[in-house]
């Protein structure tokens, strides 16, 4: 059992940098929480305050209802895995994993049992007698995880554990962390700057910027209902297209937008949702994800003319970078399976095409506050 609760946690460094402001979060037992955000937003600082590696300037951190602000790291029952594995180079994998158990003076037969069990879970049994330098990056990372595993910690903290790995290995280790999580069945707090890692690993994601929490939610919640423009653009790749346009009301009371002079009905329930929030007409930031824009035919209502600038063939889909007549750049994701062979050729650089999108995929943000109008 391990719940973690942060209440109004604040960090001011000696140089008066406020790295974390009023951080409030309730982490449930066995939950996998991800802190995500750009470099410098305070993720590591928050994690290190939970671990006890950094003083808490204000507020409280509780583990299972006990305030741990003044507890030493070793008394918090927490295991931490860092980006730079920090293995002892002169020790074998076995001895690296056994290190903390030997410090605790655990009997050797129990150490053997624990280390081999962890190695089994992590698939590194064959490497137990090697030194770290004879391992790949992914294998070293597994040793670092093994070292944290054998300590029976209540909470597992990981700070960018995959950042030093190449892209392919990172994908593989991401899947392994999901499996590891199922086997360990403990509370995880995971830090990353990578939105894909956050989306695929987290039960809930905490999106941070400049030391402030922007939004806490499940991957589906933050993707479908981003609280503000920052979250909307941070989550999802390629990132959401944003257009400045005018939100208007039709005679029948429904909302419309006219990006690039093409009138589009805000349908699919979004008009009713805006009306329920009394969204004012006037200038608005309209967000549409690249996968929610479709190709249209000339003359079709709502067809927006544009020109292809770049065509990235990704295999299962094309990423089309297009420019509208007023010079706005948009990205459109087109599943290749939807295209006729001759259409693929028709979408090369400088070719003209039409795109469109429906009301239900539109996101609306206040141009001043950048908050979602449906909050």
Ligand X SMILES: Nc1ncnc2c1ncn2[C@@H]1O[C@H](COP(=O)(O)OP(=O)(O)O)[C@@H](O)[C@H]1O
Stretches 40-48, 67-75, 108-116, 143-151: which one binds Mg ion (CB under 5 A)? 40-48
Among 2, 6, 9, 41, binds ligand X (CB under 6 A): 41
Query: Smallest distance, Å, CB 210 to ligand X?
Result: 8
| Residue in the structure block whose two tokens are 């995971």 | 190
Contact with ligand X (CB under 6 A) among 2, 36, 44, 81: 44
Nearer residue to Mg ion within complex by CB, 44 or 186: 44
Angle (deg, nearest 10), helices 137-149 and 108-122:
130
Tokens of 89: 């180079």
Is residue 137 a contact point for ligand X (CB under 6 A)? Answer: no
289 binds ligand X (CB under 6 A): no
Sort 139 into a burial class: Cβ within 10 Å, 0-12 / 13-18 / 19+: buried
Q: Which does 17 bind (CB under 5 to 8 A by kind): Mg ion, ligand X, none?
A: ligand X
Q: Of 2, 27, 35, 44, which lies in the binding site for Mg ion, with binding defined by CB under 5 A?
A: 44
Q: Which of 60, 55, 5 is nearest to 28 (CA)?
A: 5
**Contacting range for ligand X; rule: CB under 6 A; set: 9-17, 64-72, 315-323, 337-345:** 9-17
Helix (H) or strand (E) run with residue 113 in it: helix 108-122
- Half-sphere exposure in the Cβ direction for 292 (13 Å, CA): 19
Closest C-alpha to 131, from 90, 102, 98, 99: 90
Is residue 15 involved in binding ligand X (CB under 6 A)? yes
Judge if the upstream peptide bond of residue 143 is cis by omega within 30 degrees of 0.
Answer: no
Contact between 291 and 237 under an 8 Å Cβ cutoff? The reply is no
* # chain residues binding ligand X, by CB under 6 A: 12
41's contact among ligand X, Mg ion, none, with CB below 5 to 8 A by partner kind, is ligand X
Q: Is residue 40 close enough to count as binding ligand X by CB under 6 A? A: yes
By the criterion CB under 6 A, which residues form the site for ligand X?
Answer: 13, 15, 17, 19, 37, 39-45
């Amino acid at each position: 059992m391990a719940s973690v609760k942060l209440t109004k946690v604040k960090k001011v460094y000696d140089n008066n940098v406020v790295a974390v402001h009023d951080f409030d979060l309730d982490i449930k037992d066995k939950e996998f929480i991800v802190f995500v955000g750009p470099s410098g937003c305070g993720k590591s600082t928050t994690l290190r305050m939970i671990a006890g590696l950094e003083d808490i300037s204000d507020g409280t951190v509780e583990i299972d209802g006990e305030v741990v602000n003044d507890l030493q790291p070793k008394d918090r029952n927490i295991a931490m895995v860092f980006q730079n594995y920090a293995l002892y180079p002169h020790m074998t994998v076995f001895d690296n994993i056994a290190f903390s158990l030997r410090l605790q003076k655990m009997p050797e037969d129990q150490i053997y049992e624990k280390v081999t069990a962890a190695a089994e879970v992590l698939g590194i049994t064959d490497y137990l007698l090697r030194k770290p330098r004879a391992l790949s990056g992914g294998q070293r990372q597994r040793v670092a995880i093994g070292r944290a595993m054998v300590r029976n910690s209540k909470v597992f903290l990981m700070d960018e554990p995959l950042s030093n790995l190449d892209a392919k290995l990172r994908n593989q280790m991401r899947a392994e962390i999901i499996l590891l999580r199922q086997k360990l069945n403990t509370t995880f707090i995971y830090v990353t700057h990578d939105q894909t890692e956050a989306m695929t690993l987290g039960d809930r994601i905490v999106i941070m910027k400049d030391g402030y929490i922007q939004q806490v939610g499940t991957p589906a919640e933050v993707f479908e209902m981003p609280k503000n423009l920052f979250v909307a653009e941070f989550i999802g790749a390629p990132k959401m297209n944003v257009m400045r346009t005018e939100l208007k009301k039709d005679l029948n009371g429904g909302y419309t937008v006219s990006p690039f002079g093409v009138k589009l009905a805000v349908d699919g329930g979004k008009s009713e949702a805006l009306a329920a929030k009394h969204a004012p007409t006037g200038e608005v930031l309209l967000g549409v994800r690249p996968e929610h824009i479709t190709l249209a035919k000339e003359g079709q209502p709502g067809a927006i003319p544009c020109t292809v600038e770049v065509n990235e063939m990704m295999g299962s889909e094309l990423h089309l970078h297009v420019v509208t007549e007023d010079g706005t750049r948009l990205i459109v994701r087109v599943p290749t399976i939807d295209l006729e062979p001759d259409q693929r050729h028709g979408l090369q650089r400088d070719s003209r095409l039409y795109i469109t999108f429906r009301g239900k995929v539109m996101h609306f943000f206040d141009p001043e506050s950048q908050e979602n109008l449906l909050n």
